[in-house]
Amino acid sequence: MLLALAVPSLLVSVGPVLLIGERGLPNPLYNALVMALPPLRRLWFPERALFLLALAQALAVGALWARLEAPKLRAGVALAVVLVWGIELRAGGLAPLPSWDARPPAAYQCLAQGPPGAVIDLPERWSAAHLYYQTVHGRPIFGGMLEGNARFTPAELTQLREENGLWSALEAATRPGPPSRGAREAKVRPEDKAQLGALGYRYVVLRREAVPDRAAQGLLRRLESLLGPPVYEDARALIYAPWGGERPCAELRPDKRRLGRTDVAPEERAGPKRPVQLVFD
């Protein structure tokens, strides 16, 4: 019985796609469970897979519970399972769940106005919060929802990353952590900027909360040399318009609050964990 429940739980924990060699195939069990349980669609991966795995484990414990007759033994099994599961969640950084101010930065509210065009969010892959903020402005964003896996990334996007000097320079300047040894400064050609503009990009957004204070001044100088001065600036983000155009919004006042701990989304764990009500200043 336990083995019969363990195998499906392992299959579910893999996620929506099964990677077999160079091929990616839909995971039918995982996708069927997500479709059958609508609340799961509010959860991000891997939290969604972890929930389904916990559900399968609960069924396994329930089956074991039913086979045990001694009340003390039942209580001991339940306590052991809860402790092991809690330690695992704590070790993985999933408990307790982090919390932060769910209001999008004023800069993303600003992007809801102005001429059409796509957005490049920096630093890339710092967190998934920019996907949440996209619901505020509705503009296309560079890369979409990247998984950090080449199999899930279109070949054209990979080629653009490798060949466009402006993008390479922006990515290198805002990459978290110290610069890698032997890394060379990307050469930016006028045609690199024109290429991104022809693809429909209009604004570049830098999330200040992702930049350590010690590196902020040097990074801002580097970005200004690449993109020109920002057209919008507040406590949490800056907007650049290197392809022409003025400040995208005229009426929204910048949020000049100092950043507090609740204003900063945890690295690599941004995104809403529960339904939130957006309140715009």
Q: In sequence order, what DSSP letters do the residues of 75-100 get, joined into one string?
A: HHHHHHHHHHHHHHHHHTT-SSPP--
Of 143, 222, 232, 221, the closest CA to residue 188 belongs to: 222
Of 262, 271, 197, the closest CA to residue 236 belongs to: 262
- Please count the other Cβ atoms lying within 10 Å of the Cβ belonging to residue 167: 22
Note the pLDDT of residue 10.
67
- Asked if pLDDT for residue 186 goes beyond 60, the answer is yes
Indicate left, alpha or beta for 259 from its phi (over 0: left) and psi (-120 to 50: alpha): beta
- Candidate from 1-5, 100-104, 201-205 with smallest mean pLDDT: 1-5
pLDDT band at 100 (very low <50, low <70, confident <90, very high): low
Give mean pLDDT, residues 175-189. 64
Its pTM stands at: 0.63
Query: Which comes out higher in pLDDT, residue 238 or 49?
Result: 238
SS3 state of residue 40: helix
Give mean pLDDT, residues 117-124. 91
Helix ranges, the chain (H): 2-13, 28-36, 47-67, 71-91, 106-110, 129-137, 155-163, 165-174, 190-198, 213-227
Of 177, 178, 156, the closest CA to residue 167 belongs to: 156
Alpha-carbon span 270 to 100, nearest angstrom: 9
Asked whether the beta carbons of 243 and 193 are under 8 A apart, the reply is yes
- Identity at 26, one-letter amino acid code: P
pLDDT band at 260 (very low <50, low <70, confident <90, very high): very low
Determine the distance from the C-alpha atom of residue 104 to the mean position of all C-alpha atoms in its chain, rounded to a whole number: 14
Alpha-carbon span 223 to 193, nearest angstrom: 13
Tens of pLDDT along 208-248?
A: 888 888 888 889 999 999 999 999 988 889 999 999 877 78
